[in-house]
Amino acid sequence: MPTRLKKPCAYPLCPELAAPGERYCSKHRTARRQEDREYKRRRADKEEQAFYTSERWRRLRKWKLMQNPLCEECGALAQIVDHIKPIKEGGDPMLIDNLQSLCIACHNRKHMGGRGKSSEADG
């Protein structure tokens, strides 16, 4: 049975050869996976930013703060509308029952204190 030949790495200007059936050499295969992860993360960030700057979200956020102007955790003046169940975890982004009014301190404590670095709120 004939063996497949190595071919040039598809990474720009790389002189190495890729293993049979691969597009990239071993060095660039890892780099390419990292680039793909970064691309997907940036794309998700752009989609999230588009949601939080939408007119629909801004109206809902304003309404929620008018209905609950105080932080639902400590009673201070609320400045942020936070998703109780984050959108990334399947929470409905526009469901009133999934929103809570929070002050900046309580919001930061929630998202920095062991529950992850989610940024599912608009401030």
| Structure confidence by residue, pLDDT tens digits, 10-59 | 988 899 999 988 889 988 888 888 888 888 888 888 888 899 999 999 99
Q: For the whole prediction, is pTM greater than 0.75?
A: no
Average per-residue pLDDT in the chain? 87
Please give the residue that has the higher pLDDT: either 12 or 68.
68
Q: How far apart are CA 92 and CA 100, in angstroms?
A: 13
What does the pLDDT read at residue 2? 64
Helix, strand or coil, per DSSP, at residue 118: coil
How far from chain centre, in Å, is Cα 66? 28
The CB-based long-range contact list for 16-20 (8 Å cut-off, 24+ gap) reads: none
Place of tokens 């939080």: 52
Q: Which residue type sits at 17?
A: L
